[in-house]
């Protein structure tokens, strides 16, 4: 199917089914129940799952395959967002040209940054990409204010030209991004007894794009080009003395991953048409590194898992507060209840960073292959005899420095 | 004129003159050995040939063209392949993938944006790589992780990888170092076979005199960065200067 081998086709199909059914899968608890706060099936979060999935899939093409650790990929995400918002301001509220421009502009940016940064490898490469991204952030915040909106960010306005579209909607408001009349923010609810499931246009649009991006990544992984990228990570010296020029290979991987980041940035703007410099801040670059390593660098599905995991923690764990904990443990004797709540409290709410940090450390130390390796181990424990690791390239090797 | 002409090559590392004034001519389709004590500058000389180091003085011509100022991959594409003193292979890749990479390099050149076709559809490259593994007696190990091979197999794989590029000049830096006697003899047979089967020039650096005298048609003795003598194996064996400078130290 789609020129993929059986295993890859099955993986793609599985991801497709999961994303299409996500509104059900992520909302297992009845609305209004005590557990409903663990429901992740609301449009905003589901959109973030797939958009950051795209970001991480692209990042993994660079980091997972070549081992070059970029610490500046958020710059491309930000550039993508700005490009899309400008398209909304100048051309029309259709998301397609906006996203196309995001990808192109991020691609051009990554050619320049990649060309310079790839003159070095290892930590120097990482520092160069970080420097570029922080420079972009600082410029976006200050001197580039006419283009980026500076501190307030870039927003739509009623007097934008929008030459192919209306400046204001019929009700006199700023129009919203859409696809030939289908508004991205439009949702329908399905109520089944106490359960409520939400189907959102923006989510399904982003999810389809993520599936395409995932499919492309599989093709790249299985191509001669992908094999060369893995060879670069394995032994660049041997590659050079085998008559191959590593530079254009790494640059191509860098630009492809930059374009993925731009696509993610464009989609973010398509879901919510504004862009701010903080999207380029170094913590955002670090986040995609965490996602990729947590999920399993160099594996196909790992980055998507990592992205979903981190976004879930960020949005769900962070919402648990002290009174919710007390509700959960009310059945304990008073003193013990307070003690248990006090023990758990540092790890929830704003403390989710602590939980994530500990989890990340545990994964790096005990599961160098990330969540994917964890899944494989559990799979093996239950006797599913699958020779997965043979075909999953470097799925069980340590993510490179 | 040999296929490789090294003229007046000198290389300094800080205060150390690693290569003094090296002249070397390797005849086409011959096996030329370079011997000399540790630190004589043998590996440094090879590094100057393949673009890893740039000599301070002199010229290096391969088939009438200068190699100096070219990147390693360009020199390789001219037809020079090198086996390193410690095996350099793609440890994270399978043995078959290791063998496919030089086949791609031979077919597609230094860069090819082959990102959408699948590796398994590249039948010609796979066939060539598998044939070479067969030649190297490693076909049964094709799906192994290259890093988990024994040292002898890694060396065989590396030699095979170099051969799949069909080089005109093969440079070997101590191919039997650290090998057991049996492995060493296998390597000698392999190299003899290679020489018999194709038009290839081999330059070999070696400490093991058994290997040198089994293979070499011409021997250059290097000591302290300068060639001492260059002669046929028979004459080298009896040469007093050589016995003193080199063979004397390692005579068993
Ligand atoms: N990159 C370098 N920087 C500084 N000194 C070096 C470098 N490479 C080699 N040398 C020195 O140059 C001299 C020649 O080294 P080389 O490796 O060429 O010797 P060799 O003949 O290959 O020895 P061996 O038989 O031990 O491999 C040695 O003294 C070595 O320490
Ligand atoms: Mg040496």
Whether A197 maps to a domain, the answer reads: yes
B109 Cβ closer than 6 Å to some ligand 1 atom? no
- Measured between CA atoms, the residue of chain A closest to residue B52 is A241
Whether A307 maps to a domain, the answer reads: no
Q: Give me A269's structure tokens.
A: 């703007």
Confidence of residue A389 (pLDDT cuts 50, 70, 90): very low
Whether A368 maps to a domain, the answer reads: no
The angle subtended at Cα A292 by Cα A208 and Cα A40, nearest 5°, is 55
Chain A residues in contact with B100 by the CB 8 A cut-off are 227
Contact A228 B118 (CB under 8 A): no
Sequential pLDDT tens for chain B (252 residues)? 889 999 999 999 999 999 999 999 999 999 999 999 899 999 999 999 999 999 999 999 999 999 999 999 999 999 999 999 899 999 999 999 999 999 999 999 999 999 999 999 999 999 999 999 999 999 999 999 999 999 889 999 999 999 999 999 999 999 988 788 888 998 899 999 999 998 999 999 998 889 999 999 999 999 889 998 898 988 888 887 777 766 555 544
**How do residues B56-90 score in pLDDT, each as one tens digit?**
999 999 999 999 999 999 999 999 999 998 999 99
Would an 8 Å CB–CB cutoff place B149 in contact with chain A?
Answer: no
A343 contacts A330 by C-beta, under 8 angstroms: no
**How do residues A235-272 score in pLDDT, each as one tens digit?**
999 999 999 999 999 999 999 999 999 999 999 999 99
B22 Cβ closer than 6 Å to some ligand 1 atom? no
Q: What 3-state class would DSSP assign to A161?
A: coil
Q: b/e string for B66-93 if b means 16 or more Cβ within 10 A?
A: ebeebebbebbbebbbbbbeebbbbbbb
Contact B117 A233 (CB under 8 A): no
The Cα of A152 is separated from the nearest Cα of chain B by a number of Å equal to: 41
Residue from B40, B67, B36 nearest B53 by CA: B67
Using the atom order of ligand 1, give the atom closest to the CA of residue B37: 25
- ipTM summary value: 0.92
B43 Cβ closer than 6 Å to some ligand 1 atom? yes
Q: What 3-state class would DSSP assign to B21?
A: strand
Q: In chain B, what is the straight-line distance between the N-terminal and C-terminal CA atoms, in Å? A: 37
Whether A398 maps to a domain, the answer reads: no
Q: Which of residues 241-270 of A touch B (CB under 8 A)?
A: 241-245, 248-249, 252, 256
Contact A230 B90 (CB under 8 A): yes
Q: Give me the residue from B90, B104, B118 closest to A234, CB to CB.
A: B90
Q: What is the pLDDT of residue A401?
A: 36
List Cβ<8 Å contacts ≥24 apart for B49-56.
B49/B4, B49/B6, B49/B75, B49/B80, B49/B82, B49/B171, B50/A241, B50/B75, B50/B76, B50/B80, B50/B82, B50/B171, B51/B75, B53/B11, B55/B9, B55/B10, B55/B11, B55/B19, B56/B10, B56/B11, B56/B12
B48 contacts B24 by C-beta, under 8 angstroms: no
Residue nearest to atom 4 of ligand 1 (CA): B13
Whether A259 maps to a domain, the answer reads: yes
Residue A290 belongs to what H/E stretch? helix A282-295
Half-sphere exposure of B119 (CA within 13 A, CB side): 23
Domain ranges, residue A270 = 6-21+39-280
B75 contacts B67 by C-beta, under 8 angstroms: yes
Chain B residues in contact with A393 by the CB 8 A cut-off are 92
Q: What is the pLDDT of residue B44?
A: 95
In terms of Cβ atoms closer than 10 Å to its own Cβ (0-12, 13-18, 19+), residue A309 is buried
- Among A224, A229, A399, which would you mutate to test the B interface (most chain B Cβ atoms within 10 Å of its Cβ)? A224
Would an 8 Å CB–CB cutoff place B112 in contact with chain A?
Answer: yes
B169 contacts B61 by C-beta, under 8 angstroms: no
Would an 8 Å CB–CB cutoff place A240 in contact with chain B?
Answer: yes
Chain B residues in contact with A249 by the CB 8 A cut-off are 111
Cα B43 to ligand 2 centroid, rounded to whole Å: 4
Q: Is A250 left (phi over 0), alpha (psi -120 to 50) or beta?
A: alpha
Would an 8 Å CB–CB cutoff place A3 in contact with chain B?
Answer: yes
Strands B31-35 and B218-223: parallel
Whether A150 maps to a domain, the answer reads: yes
- Between residues B76 and A379, which one has the greater pLDDT? B76
Residues 6+ away with beta carbon under 8 Å from B82 = A241, B46, B49, B50, B76, B162, B170, B171, B172, B173
- Measured between CA atoms, the residue of chain B closest to residue A228 is B101
A264 contacts A52 by C-beta, under 8 angstroms: yes
Q: What is the number of structural domains in chain A?
A: 1
Q: b/e string for A122-159 if b means 16 or more Cβ within 10 A?
A: eeebbebbbbbbbebbeebbeeeeeebbbeebbebeee
Whether A1 maps to a domain, the answer reads: no
Cα B225 to ligand 1 centroid, rounded to whole Å: 10
Whether A362 maps to a domain, the answer reads: no
Quick check: pTM over 0.95? no
- Measured between CA atoms, the residue of chain B closest to residue A221 is B115
The Cα of A392 is separated from the nearest Cα of chain B by a number of Å equal to: 11
User: Averaged over A116-134, what is the pLDDT?
Assistant: 96
B19 Cβ closer than 6 Å to some ligand 1 atom? no
- Measured between CA atoms, the residue of chain B closest to residue A232 is B90
B238 contacts B54 by C-beta, under 8 angstroms: no
Residue nearest to atom 8 of ligand 1 (CA): B44
Q: In chain A, what is the straight-line distance between the N-terminal and C-terminal CA atoms, in Å? A: 35
B97 contacts A227 by C-beta, under 8 angstroms: yes
Cα B42 to ligand 2 centroid, rounded to whole Å: 6
Residue with tokens 């993510």, as numbered in its chain: A399
CB pairs under 8 A between A and B: 112
């Amino acid at each position: 199917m789609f020129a993929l081998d059986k295993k890859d086709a099955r993986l793609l199909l599985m991801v497709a089914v999961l994303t299409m059914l996500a509104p059900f899968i992520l909302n297992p608890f009845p609305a209004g129940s005590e557990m409903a706060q663990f429901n992740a099936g609301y449009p905003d979060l589901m959109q973030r799952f797939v958009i950051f999935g795209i970001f991480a899939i692209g990042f993994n093409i660079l980091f997972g395959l070549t081992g070059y650790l970029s610490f500046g990929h958020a710059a491309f995400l930000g550039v993508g967002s700005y490009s899309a918002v400008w398209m909304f301001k100048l051309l029309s509220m259709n998301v397609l040209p906006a996203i196309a421009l995001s990808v192109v502009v991020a691609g051009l940016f990554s050619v320049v940054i990649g060309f310079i940064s790839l003159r070095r490898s290892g930590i120097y490469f990482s520092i160069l990409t970080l420097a570029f991204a922080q420079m972009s952030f600082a410029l976006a915040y200050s001197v580039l204010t006419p283009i980026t909106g500076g501190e307030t960010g870039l927003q739509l306005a009623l007097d934008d030209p929008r030459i192919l579209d209306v400046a204001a909607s019929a009700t006199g408001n700023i129009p919203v991004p859409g696809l030939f009349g289908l508004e991205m923010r439009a949702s329908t609810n399905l109520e089944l007894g106490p359960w409520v499931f939400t189907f959102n246009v923006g989510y399904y649009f982003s999810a389809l794009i993520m599936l395409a991006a995932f499919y492309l990544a599989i093709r790249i992984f299985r191509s001669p080009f992908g094999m060369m990228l893995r060879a670069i990570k394995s032994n660049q010296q041997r590659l050079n003395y085998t008559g191959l020029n590593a530079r254009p290979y790494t640059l191509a991987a860098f630009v492809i991953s930059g374009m993925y980041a731009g696509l993610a940035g464009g989609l973010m703007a398509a879901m919510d048409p504004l862009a701010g410099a903080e999207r380029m801040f170094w913590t955002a670059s670090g986040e995609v590194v965490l996602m990729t390593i947590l999920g399993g660098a160099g594996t196909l599905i790992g980055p998507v898992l990592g992205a979903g995991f981190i976004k879930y923690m960020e949005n769900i764990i962070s919402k648990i507060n002290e009174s919710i904990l007390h509700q959960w443990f009310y059945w304990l004797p008073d003193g013990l209840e307070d003690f248990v709540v006090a023990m758990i409290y540092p790890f929830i709410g704003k403390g989710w960073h602590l939980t994530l940090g500990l989890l990340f450390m545990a994964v790096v130390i005990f599961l160098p292959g990330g969540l994917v390796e964890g899944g494989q181990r559990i799979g093996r424990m239950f006797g599913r005899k699958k020779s997965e690791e043979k075909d999953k390239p470097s799925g069980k090797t340590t993510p490179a420095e | 004129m040999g296929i490789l002409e090294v003229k007046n090559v000198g290389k300094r590392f800080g205060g150390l003159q690693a290569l003094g004034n090296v002249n070397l001519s390797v005849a086409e389709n011959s096996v030329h050995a370079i011997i000399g004590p540790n630190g004589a500058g043998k590996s440094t000389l090879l590094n100057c040939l393949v673009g890893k180091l740039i000599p301070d003085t002199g010229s290096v011509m391969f088939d009438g063209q200068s190699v100096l100022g070219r990147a390693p991959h360009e020199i390789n594409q001219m037809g020079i392949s090198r086996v390193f003193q410690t095996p350099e292979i793609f440890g994270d890749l399978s043995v078959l993938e290791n063998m496919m990479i030089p086949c791609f390099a031979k077919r597609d050149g230094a860069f090819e944006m082959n990102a959408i076709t699948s590796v398994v559809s590249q039948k010609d490259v796979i066939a060539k790589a598998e044939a070479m593994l067969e030649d190297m007696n490693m076909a049964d190990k094709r799906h192994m992780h290259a890093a988990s091979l024994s040292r002898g197999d890694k060396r065989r794989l590396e030699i095979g990888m170099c051969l799949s590029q069909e080089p005109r000049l093969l440079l070997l830096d101590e191919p039997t170092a650290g090998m057991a006697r049996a492995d060493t003899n296998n390597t000698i047979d392999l190299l003899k076979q290679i020489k018999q089967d194709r038009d290839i020039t081999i330059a070999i650096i070696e400490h093991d005199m058994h290997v040198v005298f089994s293979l070499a048609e011409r021997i250059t003795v290097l000591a302290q960065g300068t060639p001492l003598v260059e002669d046929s194996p028979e004459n080298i064996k009896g040469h007093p200067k050589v016995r003193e400078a080199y063979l004397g130290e390692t005579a068993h």
